[in-house]
Amino acid sequence: MRASILLVPSVLVLALSACKPAATDATAADAPAAVAVATAGPSDAELLAQGEYLVRIAGCNDCHTPGWAQNGGDAPRDQWLVGSKVGWNGPWGTTYAANLRLKAADMDDKKWLEYTANLHTRPIMPDFALRAMKEQDRLAIFRFIKSLGPGGEPAPAYLPPGQTPPVPYFEANLPPPPAAAQADAKPAAAG
């Protein structure tokens, strides 16, 4: 399939090059390689840029980077995605945005894609948004997290309902979640 896709432009280029002066022959020789790159998906650099973009606009930094929202969407890069000590307290207990750089440290592309496709966490993590993302977007986020390297400490451990967390924390005054939603939420691993 791929061979036939490549063949058509190559043949076209060769046919066209026959009409051109000799000086442009080098361009014709390079053309098939350029076509191959175009069909192979984004380059590593493009994936990284896309990952950074998604981490900025999909809210990952808002919760997983200390001070991000308070500083108007900015933080030193070595602080990005190291998790947060600000608790999210509600009927589910108290959760803390995990250190994604430590989480990603022992994963490869394949493991991350499986993991994020099936991710079920407690609130207030929008796990549904991650599950709904295209594979390439989840891969781009992963490559970007990996590029930051492991850093920071694990986030504080989850506290069960009824336990008052230490400050600082956000408090959500909500009715208890439906039983089905609670059964669906598998506790996230430490980190």
101 class by beta-carbon count within 10 Å (0-12 exposed, 13-18 middle, 19+ buried)? buried
Shortest distance (Å) from residue 91 CB to ligand HEC: 14
72 CB contacts (<8 Å, ≥6 apart)?
none
Shortest distance (Å) from residue 127 CB to ligand HEC: 7
Shortest distance (Å) from residue 15 CB to ligand HEC: 47
Q: Could you give the CA distance from residue 35 to residue 153 in angstroms, rounded to a whole number? A: 45
Among residues 35 and 52, whose Cβ is nearest to ligand HEC? 52
Among residues 34 and 117, whose Cβ is nearest to ligand HEC? 117
92 class by beta-carbon count within 10 Å (0-12 exposed, 13-18 middle, 19+ buried)? buried
Coil, strand or helix: which one is 162?
Answer: coil
Q: Could you give the CA distance from residue 55 to residue 83 in angstroms, rounded to a whole number? A: 13
Shortest distance (Å) from residue 137 CB to ligand HEC: 9
Among residues 30 and 135, whose Cβ is nearest to ligand HEC? 135
Among residues 13 and 95, whose Cβ is nearest to ligand HEC? 95
- Which residues lie near ligand HEC (CB under 6 A)? 58-60, 62-64, 88, 95-98, 100, 103, 119, 121-122, 124-126, 129-130, 141, 158, 188-189, 191
